[in-house]
Amino acid sequence: MRGRKVLIVDDEEAVRRLIAELVEREGYDVLHANSAESAMATASRYRIDAFLLDLDMPGTSGTTLCRMIRGIKEYEAVPIVFVTGTTSNLEEAFAAGCDDLINKPIDPLVLRARLNGHVQRAEYAKQLSSTRRMLDHYVSKRTREVAEKAAQTGILPSPKKRDVVILFTDIRGFTALSEELDPDELFSLVSAQLGMQVHLIYEHRGYVDKFGGDGLMSVFDGEDMAIQSCLCALRIMEGAHRTTGGDRRIHQLGIGIHMGPVVIGNIGSAEHFDYSVIGNAGAIVVYASIPSAGLQSVGSRI
């Protein structure tokens, strides 16, 4: 637990020293506070990884301090443990947001085990949250929703046939462009373009099914899917020029839209699957986005 900071809050210095000695043996960096006011000042100055609070303190009580700490966003999930010699107000203590309570006189084994356990769980939760945020950038919203539901029920949804609108976009001349620009500039331009498109797709109640390098495939469903997909396409056309600052190398787009039946379901294996659409509608749009198939590039020429 080296590098983790623990704030001990107790109005009695002897108690703080005793707890500090036990906690420091586990490798924690210990900070002291003799009042709620001093504790809040320390918490604002340092990033605290766990709080050990006295429940019964003069002035601002331990339960009030606990609520104050929980009111700070960065401490919403940080472990707060009361170390106390009283058995009163326990219900109020847990209602204030504490994670645990250790009775005085302190058993060193109990203190270390519980503190380590809470800190480790908080770290795991933090890592899980970070992983989920990262996955949000790499996994489509619809796939994530299906995965979350399957995790709760243990059952993957069966494939379904339904009518949807498929919207496909493609940056014209991307191969030549990739040979002309350095990688950083290329990815910056493409990311700006696709980022604009994704934002508009979700604004019009669609969702991104997959990216294809310089383009993407999105799906619209619902009663007004045809109208929403067309409005989205028009706004993408308008935004293509604005997003790239008039750089004609990248704001020429191919956009294909088709409505028809598809099958929506899980594609892949036990190791990896994607909740996606397959069917003629998607194939028609991809084919139509090829210049030789008759779909014209759109951009400033429209």
Are residues 287 and 170 both part of a single domain? yes
- Say yes or no: 165 and 289 in one domain: yes
3-state secondary structure of 106: coil
Q: What is the CATH number of the domain that holds 91?
A: 3.40.50.2300
Structural domains of the chain, count:
2
* Cα three-residue angle 195-200-201, rounded to 5 degrees: 95
- Residue 59 counted as domain residue: yes
Specify the pLDDT at position 2.
Answer: 74
* CATH assignment at residue 233: 3.30.70.1230
Instruction: Indicate whether 185 and 220 sit together in one domain.
Output: yes
pLDDT recorded at residue 265: 84
In-domain check, residue 145: no
Q: According to the model, what pLDDT value does residue 178 have?
A: 77
116 and 216 part of one domain = no
Question: How many alpha carbons fall within 13 Å on the CB side of residue 32?
Answer: 14
- Per the listing, tokens 């420091």 go with 24
**pLDDT tens, residue order, the chain (302 aa):** 678 999 999 999 999 999 999 999 999 999 999 999 999 999 999 999 999 999 888 899 999 999 999 999 999 999 999 998 877 778 898 999 999 999 988 999 999 999 999 999 999 888 878 777 766 666 667 777 777 777 788 777 788 888 999 999 988 777 777 778 888 888 888 888 888 999 999 999 999 888 877 788 899 998 999 999 999 999 998 888 776 665 665 557 888 898 888 888 877 776 677 777 887 655 555 544 554 444 444 443 33
Average pLDDT, the chain: 84
Q: One-letter amino acid identity for 224?
A: D
pLDDT of residue 210: 84
Would you state the pLDDT for residue 146? Answer: 77
Closest by CA position to 50, among listed 86, 82, 87: 82
CA-based torsion, 135, 156, 216, 197: positive or negative: negative
Q: Identify whether 84 is part of a domain.
A: yes
User: Would 299 be classed as within a structural domain?
Assistant: no
Report pLDDT for 301: 39
Q: Kindly state whether residues 169 and 266 are assigned to the same domain.
A: yes
Vertex 218, ends 170 and 263: CA angle to 5°? 125
Q: Are residues 176 and 231 in the same domain?
A: yes
Cα 258–262–268 angle (5° rounding)? 125
Name the domain boundary from 105, 137, 169: 137
Q: In the prediction, which pLDDT does 251 show?
A: 53
User: Does 149 reside within a domain?
Assistant: no
Same domain, yes or no: 32 and 84: yes
Task: Look at the chain and count its residues.
Answer: 302
**Is the residue at 300 inside a domain?**
no
Any domain includes 146: no
Q: Would residue 21 count as lying in a domain?
A: yes
Q: Is residue 90 located within the same domain as residue 163? A: no
Are 203 and 85 within one domain? no
Rounded CA-CA distance 276/226 in Å is: 19
Claim to verify: residue 98 and residue 166 sit in the same structural domain: no
Domain that holds residue 281: 156-293
